[in-house]
Amino acid sequence: MIEINSFLVMNNFSIKDTMRIIGNNGLGIAFVTNNEGTLLGTVTDGDIRKALGNGTSISTDVEQIMNTNPITVQEEFTSHDLKNNVHQRIKGFSRYYTLKVPVVDNNKKVVNIVMYNLHDNTYELLKEFNSHQTKDVKKVLVVGGAGYIGSTLCHQLIEKGYDVRVLDKMTFGHGSISELQKLPNFELLEGDLRNITTITSALENIDAVILLAGIVGDPASSKIPKETIETNYFATLALANACKYYQINRFVFASTCSVYGSSSGIVTEEDALNPLSLYARSKIDSEQSILNLKDTNFAPTMLRMATVYGLSRRMRFDLVVNIFALKAATGDTISIFGGDQWRPFVHVEDAASAYIKCLEAPLKDIAGETFNIGAENYTINQLGEFAKELFPEATIEKTDKQVIKGALDSRDYKVSFAKAKRIIKFEPQRTVKKAMLDIKNAIEQGSLDNFNDKAYYNVEMAEKKSVPDNSKEI
Ligand SMILES: NC(=O)c1ccc[n+]([C@@H]2O[C@H](COP(=O)([O-])OP(=O)(O)OC[C@H]3O[C@@H](n4cnc5c(N)ncnc54)[C@H](O)[C@@H]3O)[C@@H](O)[C@H]2O)c1
């Protein structure tokens, strides 16, 4: 149960202290009172970010920026009073927005809070409200939101009622998010994360950031090392710094289980890292630098994702499960290099849902935390057996050549996902076998074709020119 006290700040509290209280209460608002507890005004996380963006210092007293004429209702209010008070004042909010209206007694002391849902005009009182889901995040910036995981995540976010802005340089085209572009609660900012002006524009009116953009995979990273270091490290850190400055304190970073490289036993988040590539090193450098920014307010979270598989609107056929399914379904030979190496796996829909879990978890549970995100560990040979079982006509050969295009891949590790299950309640739902069948069906129905198209393979697109620095909204 949330207490009223967790919403109250004194008028001489700093913006930073106020933001910490707002972050912890999880509702995006604080009520400013004097010594006697009389309500003087309200302040939202959005008000604070706007003030910081206008150059206000984070140590300024909150009374300098509060709203001195907030909507309130008296004790014993009727639903008619509430509706009237709200609709006289509120226009143009997202239809999913939940307004938090203070209930005051005759001495203007806050005694309760009404959570008023603008989309259906229903409400509930805080004292009856017993949800563990935080409601401070309304608009999410997904950097890299047009990619394999990002486009899946954006569809899930929109379905759940979030407002979404994507910043992406659109390496793989617009197809993955074209349906979303028709929606009022979705925006695309086409631009390059490596541009500071683009970063600050992308962060306007944003409550939480999910950073997926990067040069992804060992082969692509080794082909364009300069761009990898710029994107996966320098630009990543610049974005995290900007978020901390603007008090966008939920910052979820896409790291990878590749940081474990080759390890024995089942590795947990506490185990030693053993990066075998520039890609993995760039992720470790970013993890460490972002976590160093953590303070009482800024609450970054690292998601070390297993190898992802499954259908996405931006399909990748450079991921082992997807390529095995493609080969089996199209009568091509599946070549297995080695085969005894262990890897962790997760379906793209489940991977996407892990990010949403982080948006909805209490800040204290995710602040400065690292989670392995995956479902199961398999050897590459086991994946071959799944393909053979599902597609008996499939041919499998052992080879001394790489299965996936690019540099030699010596990763071999088993990963524990217990922490994510325990803390953010991450429960993956999908299986490798079902995903292989889904890919086969999509191929048979013609929704996937032209399998040699470079857009399916990150390494092939690695040298594609970035968009120019002057980002454009479309
Ligand atoms: N797919 C996996 O198996 C897997 C596993 C572990 C971790 N990850 C991590 O998840 C994230 C997303 O992976 P994915 O498979 O969706 O990759 P992806 O290549 O499909 O998507 C990356 C997106 O980032 C965009 N991008 C790249 N550089 C950019 C820049 N400078 N500015 C703006 N946009 C830029 C690309 O245009 C693309 O849309 C990556 O950070 C990756 O390291 C992926």
Q: Look up the pTM and report it.
A: 0.93
Whether residue 159 lies inside any domain: the answer is yes
428 and 316 both lie in a single domain: yes
Looking at residue 460, its pLDDT comes to 84
Cα distance between residue 23 and residue 362, in whole Å: 8
SS3 category, 438: helix
Q: Ligand 1 center to residue 212 CA distance, Å? A: 5
Q: Ligand 1 center to residue 146 CA distance, Å? A: 9
151 and 76 both lie in a single domain: no
Q: How many domains does the chain have?
A: 2
184 and 246 both lie in a single domain: yes
Whether residue 393 lies inside any domain: the answer is yes
Cα distance between residue 331 and residue 334, in whole Å: 9
CATH number of residue 395's parent domain = 3.40.50.720
Residue of 153, 171, 460 with the most ligand 1 atoms within 8 Å of its CB, for mutation: 171
Q: Which residues pair with 335 in a beta bridge?
A: 397
255 and 197 both lie in a single domain: yes
Q: Ligand 1 center to residue 192 CA distance, Å? A: 13
pLDDT tens, per residue, the chain with 474 residues:
568 889 999 999 999 999 999 999 888 999 999 999 999 999 999 999 999 999 999 999 999 999 999 999 999 889 888 888 888 887 766 556 788 999 999 999 999 999 888 878 889 888 766 555 567 899 999 999 999 999 999 999 999 999 999 999 999 999 999 999 999 999 999 999 999 999 999 999 999 999 999 999 899 999 999 999 999 999 999 999 999 999 999 999 999 999 998 888 899 999 999 999 999 999 999 999 999 999 999 999 999 999 999 999 999 999 999 999 999 989 999 989 888 899 999 999 999 999 999 999 999 999 999 999 999 999 999 999 999 999 999 899 987 655 444 445 677 889 999 999 999 999 999 999 999 999 999 998 988 888 888 889 888 888 765 444 444 443
Listed residues 94, 128, 162: the one ending a domain: 128
144 and 114 both lie in a single domain: no
Whether residue 470 lies inside any domain: the answer is no
Nearest CA to ligand 1 atom 11: 212
303 and 230 both lie in a single domain: yes
Listed residues 99, 128, 157: the one ending a domain: 128
Whether residue 467 lies inside any domain: the answer is no
Listed residues 89, 106, 128: the one ending a domain: 128
291 and 414 both lie in a single domain: yes
User: φ and ψ at 305, to 5 degrees?
Assistant: -90, 140
Distances 5 to 30, 64, 339, 369, 374 between C-alpha atoms, Å: 10, 21, 58, 27, 38
Q: Where are the beta strands (DSSP E) in 224-358?
A: 250-256, 262-267, 299-305, 307-309, 334-337, 342-347
257 CA: nearest ligand 1 atom: 6
149 CA: nearest ligand 1 atom: 16
Whether residue 455 lies inside any domain: the answer is yes
Whether residue 263 lies inside any domain: the answer is yes
CATH number of residue 100's parent domain = 3.10.580.10
Q: Ligand 1 center to residue 443 CA distance, Å? A: 24
Q: Ligand 1 center to residue 147 CA distance, Å? A: 6
Residue of 177, 180, 212, 286 with the most ligand 1 atoms within 8 Å of its CB, for mutation: 212
Pinpoint the alpha helices (H) of 253-397. Answer: 278-292, 320-329, 348-360, 363-366, 380-390
Closest alpha carbon to 258 in 319, 169, 193: 319
184 and 119 both lie in a single domain: no
122 and 183 both lie in a single domain: no
SS3 category, 73: strand
User: φ and ψ at 337, to 5 degrees?
Assistant: -95, 120
Whether residue 472 lies inside any domain: the answer is no
316 CA: nearest ligand 1 atom: 20
Residue of 141, 143, 149 with the most ligand 1 atoms within 8 Å of its CB, for mutation: 149
Looking at residue 85, its pLDDT comes to 85
123 and 160 both lie in a single domain: no
172 and 88 both lie in a single domain: no
373 and 253 both lie in a single domain: yes
Residue 59 sits in which domain range?
Answer: 4-128
Distances 459 to 261, 324, 406 between C-alpha atoms, Å: 20, 18, 7
Whether residue 64 lies inside any domain: the answer is yes
pLDDT tens-digit map of 253-300: 999 999 998 888 899 999 999 999 999 999 999 999 999 999 999 999
